[in-house]
Structure 1
Amino acid sequence: MSRIAAVATALPSHRYPQQAITDMLAPMVARDPRRQALMRRMHASSHVDTRHLVLPLEDYRDALTFGQTNDRFVEEVTALAATAVAGALEEARVRADEVDLIVFTSVTGVSAPSVDALLVPRLGMREDVKRMPMFGLGCVAGASGIARVHDYLEGHADGVALLVSVELCSLTVQRDDDSMDNLVASGLFGDGAAAVVLVGAARAAGVAGPDVVATRSRLYPGSRDVIGFRPSETGFRVILTAGVVEVIDANFAADATAFLAAQGLGVPDVGTWIAHPGGPKVLDAFQRGLGLPEGALARSWASMARVGNLSSSSVLHVLADELHADRAASGYGLLFALGPGVSAEFVLLRWPEPAEALAAA
């Protein structure tokens, strides 16, 4: 098993109430007053109170090409990633030159060399550090990143690995696109970053975080047009349909319970639920499918209200909130997310009992 040693988050400094963002975007996105009114209603019902944006709100009035937007992405994403990584390394008491693997994920911009390569000299990592950039996983990548890092550490018990996620979703909002996809996305997604330090079993002594016990991936055939991005001259145009909830209703509960059953567990054995806050209907579908009690996904709802949906970073923000809570979690936890494909990732966590942690230390 691997163990999560630390999770740190970073948010851009520009923070705005939902209403201010809606007021600025509405005339840019929709020219028809009826579509503007629909957009306002959808934003108001999103359960998002505030969001952080990588640029000052007034800067979004400028019409930029894909290339210009992506230049801003590379510039801003590297700085935000460095902040999150520095916080995670400090919390884990790990030096940058001790990291053996860095996995970087984002779906809101592209860079070659990839952002992980830009971070290596900036943070003082070794020149022989292994790198694995991931693109295209979208919202599922936070959970998938933990799972893939865990796979690496299963074969490197004395290793240290780093997962970095940064999403600048605001740079993908499209002008003059009053499609339902863009109306929903423009009121839901925010900007943010997260970094996770994981260690192999041989380095877990004295680390109080949860163990990664098992993982499972699922890809649902015939769902490629349900969620994702479509590249265009003005950037990434979001694909976000009502079919997401249909996929959850048809598959999620059976897959989650089968995964738990393979570990000898059932839903009642899980005390902590770390769900990707994909939106109100998504969280409702997760809770409904598993038959969870009221409040079981409270941290996901609170994260969505505070910062919106941060794509791959969101579930990591929820995990950070759990790890930094006044009342520590115990027993088993299930972390999960969905993304383009449609794909799902399940990560079973287990917090060491106090006696185990003392013995390990």
Structure 2
Amino acid sequence: MSLTLSGLCVEVQGFRLKDISFQVEQGKCLVIVGPSGAGKTLLLDTIAGVYTPKKGTILLAGRDITRARPEERNLGYLPQNLALFPHLSVLDNILFGARARKIPLEKARARVKELAELLRIEHLLDRPSPLTLSGGEKQRVALARALLVEPSVILLDEPFSALDNFIKRELIFYLKEVFSTLKNTVIHVTHDLQEAFLLADILGVMLEGRLEQVGPREEICYRPHTLGVARLFAGSNIFHGHIVEINPGTVVVKTFRGLTLELPSKEDFRLGQRVVFGISPREIMIIRPGRPLRAKVQVNVLPAQVVSILDSYGSHLVFLQLEDSGEKAELEIPSYVFRDLSLNPGSMVEVCFKKDYLWVLPEE
């Protein structure tokens, strides 16, 4: 079922969610990413019915559930701490929600069998306590409990935050497969950008109680609406300057240190206006000598010197000083590409700031 929030405002112990609005269609996954303290868990608790909003509405398939009791909402909730009961067996932990919803035991047991097979936890059902389970096994048991009641929407609160990277990666891929099979509508909150990009059909960014932007992943990464959203993806590649030229669909900007770039623009900018602009470290390209350049990378080509290099496991971060302006920039290169470039601190290179992936905003 679809879930729609309109103008939701919530206040709990002095913290506010402000004017939250979005829609998630049946079978889609909305991932809301943001730092700790942004209000992500408060948002899930409000959708689940723990808190009542001061303003706004929550619609589930068009039905107003804004003030419905939690048990009337038909939602599944996987909290960050999983909330498994150590005194109950694994089977009884999964069945717990069925008793609360008054689902007949025979039907509930049949559903447990289906879910255990889907989640590959059949061998765990006889365990007398979840305390003996691994982190990944606990996640799947808690998920089975949430899915048992056949919820219209699944709410996931940082479900992988306590797992190591190897288990997390495996579970993310598996979870995507499970939700695709069951056609669940999912709202998942996290502070992990990689996790968000792997799971999201729609991505949202929450900062200080506001949902700053919701939309396709590419749009949020490359066309941020606010500087707060842009900072999540640009690394150190954020520059301040002013507009020196306006052309159809593009603007030319110049920083106060003299860096000049051509950027795409759909905004109502004016000459001389102060702006902030930037680019993802993954969208700055090192030009290889002697190779023909595509039209898209024949603008914004600049000489630079390598200042330092960091191995980031699977990719390398290369920190540059742009020769003409002295501005600093950061780029990320896949390790297999890096090995072919023979880069070292002090190396001189030419780099291209890919025009189509630069963003520009009015200075706040």
What's the TM-score once normalised by structure 1's chain length? 0.21
Of Structure 1 and Structure 2, which has the larger fraction of its residues in helix?
A: 1
Of Structure 1 and Structure 2, which has the larger fraction of its residues in strand?
A: 2
What's the TM-score once normalised by structure 2's chain length? 0.21
Between Structure 1 and Structure 2, whose CA radius of gyration is higher? 2
